[in-house]
Amino acid sequence: MRSTFKKALTLGLATIVAGAVPVGAALAGALADAATRAEQLAASGDAAGARAAIRDAVSDFSAGLPFAVGTATFVASDPTGFGMFEPRRDNVFKPGEKIVAYIEPMGLLWKPAQVPDKMETRFTVDFDLLDAGGTVLGSQKAFGNFNFTGVTKNSEIFATLTLDVSEAPVGSYVLRYNLNDTNSGKTASVDLPFSIAVTP
C-alpha cells in the first residue's frame, strides 16, 4: 500500500508552578525544602520568588526522572498550550481525516547550551504506521527534530503531531511514535491504536 504522509508540528513550553512526586528521600527532601522556602517567600510578599523556588525545584526533579512518554492521546484540534487540549471522543477516523496527536515527553536530559548561562535539550520523533497484524506500512525517521533552550530546565514540553494518511483504506491501525532524547541517547515509545471507518 502506498501511503502519503504530511506533517505539521507544533511545540510548546510552559513553566510549572506546583506539583511533586516523591520517588526518593533526597529528591523528596529537596522538594520539601523548596516548598518551605516558597511559603516563606510568599508570606513575605515575594510571590515571584516563591513561584521561582517551586519551579526550579520541580524542574530539577523532573529532569531526573527516567526518559518516557507522559500523556499521549489523539486530540480534536490543535492544542493551545501545555495540557490545553480537547481529547478526541474516540479513535475512529473518517477516510481522509487528519490524525492529530498530543505528546508529552518527560525526563529529558538538559545540558549547558552554547549560549552563556542557558540550558538546552533536544529530542527527535520517528513514527511507524502498522496494520492490525503488526506489519509496518510506512515510517519516517526524525519526523520531528526539536531543540529547546532556556535559563531553566523546563519540564512542561509538548509536541502536536499531525499525519495525513488519506491513502490508507478502511481498517485498523497502530501509530507508533518513537521519541529519542539526543542528549542522553535514550528512547521511549508509545502506541496509539486507531481505525479508519466510513461512518453513517
For helices 47-63 and 25-43, what crossing angle results, to 10°?
170
Q: How many CB atoms lie within 10 A of CB 4?
A: 11
- pTM (predicted TM-score): 0.78
Q: Are 157 and 13 within 8 A, CB to CB?
A: yes
Q: Is 95 exposed, middle or buried (0-12, 13-18, 19+ CB in 10 A)?
A: middle
Res 194: pLDDT: 97
For residue 156, list its beta bridge partners.
14
Confidence of residue 28 (pLDDT cuts 50, 70, 90): low
Res 200: pLDDT: 67
Res 128: pLDDT: 96
Residue 193's identity, in one-letter code, is: P
- Tens of pLDDT, residues 90-130: 999 999 999 999 999 999 999 999 989 999 999 999 999 99
Q: Which three three-digit cell numbers place residue 81?
A: 498550550
Res 68: pLDDT: 95
- Say if residue 19's pLDDT is above 80: no
**CATH code of the domain occupying 7-14+67-196:** 2.60.40.2550
Q: Are 148 and 154 within 8 A, CB to CB?
A: yes
Q: Which three three-digit cell numbers place residue 87?
A: 481529547
Q: How far apart are CA 108 and CA 66, in angstroms?
A: 8
Residue 153's identity, in one-letter code, is: K
Q: Is 71 exposed, middle or buried (0-12, 13-18, 19+ CB in 10 A)?
A: middle
Res 73: pLDDT: 97
Look at 7 and 165; give whichever has higher pLDDT.
165
**Mean of the per-residue pLDDT values for the chain?**
84
- Distance from first CA to last CA of the chain, Å, rounded? 26
Q: How far apart are CA 39 and CA 135, in angstroms?
A: 55
Res 54: pLDDT: 82
**Residue 62: strand, helix, or coil:** helix
| Residues listed for the chain | 200
Res 67: pLDDT: 93
Q: How far apart are CA 181 and CA 63, in angstroms?
A: 12
Q: Are 147 and 76 within 8 A, CB to CB?
A: no
Confidence of residue 31 (pLDDT cuts 50, 70, 90): confident
- Tens of pLDDT, residues 132-175: 999 999 999 998 888 899 888 888 899 999 998 888 899 999 99
- Tens of pLDDT, residues 38-59: 889 889 999 998 888 888 887 7
**Residue 101: strand, helix, or coil:** strand
Domain extents in the chain: 7-14+67-196, 25-61
